[in-house]
Amino acid sequence: MNLIPILYENDEIIVINKPSGLAVQGGENISHSLDKDFSQQIGYKIFLVHRLDKDTAGLMIVAKNPKAASKWTKLIADKSVRKEYIAICAGTLNQKKGVIKEEVVQHGETKKAVTYYEVEQEADYVCQADGNKITLSKIRLKLETGRMHQIRIHLSKQNCPIAGDDQHGNFKINKILKKELKIKKLLLASVSLTIPIDGTEKTFDIDLPEHMLNLCFNS
């Protein structure tokens, strides 16, 4: 079991950097999960206050006890906690900065979903096999709502799906990117987290995970 990096800790919470491929919560046919593995790592049970998709890497908060979990779940719900994500997508967006407000369907129910985005970089990759061009876009995102797979669904509906997304992405392009650029994971990470601590705001930032680096973008 690889150690999960800790960025910050106080009496209530721990801020961690979750690796891609690790489920947040255990269940049937899940041999490794954040709640189980991290509890073993630090020697006591932790409590979840929010989630990331299994294949999404990056910053998360976990609580040390049920009281803290209740408090921080409410802080996240009332938007006192702010998160930013980076996605690398196969395609381009018509507007380089804006907001996506398309509803999403979850468990048969249509729900409001709002995602703010800004395109930071674009780069063209010419496929070695056939000479065709694929444009990759590096996009920074902020969520107003927190629906399941919201970022993945919203970007897919804009014809700019996240590279490596095997559920909402472009499967043909994913196959090409896997062969040409060795992209085997979802290219989405939670890279910035701002939380209220001791009457002020504290922001944590991380670099992109290794599997999202060096994809023909200038540093």
- Annotated catalytic residues are 53
Bridge partner list, 169:
none
Q: Cα torsion for 37, 43, 44, 47, to the nearest 10°?
A: -30
Q: Which two tokens stand for residue 58?
A: 């990056």
* Six token digits for residue 138: 């590096």
H-helix or E-strand spanning residue 23: none
Amino acid at site 14: I
Q: Hey, which bits of 64-160 come out as E strands?
A: 82-90, 97-100, 104-106, 109-111, 115-126, 133-143
Determine the residue type at 79: K
Is the Cβ–Cβ distance between 151 and 141 less than 8 Å? yes
Contact (Cβ atoms closer than 8 angstroms) between residue 119 and residue 98: no
Enumerate residues 6+ apart whose C-beta is below 8 A from 2.
Answer: 19
Nearest Cα to Cα of residue 24 among 32, 34, 16, 39 = 34
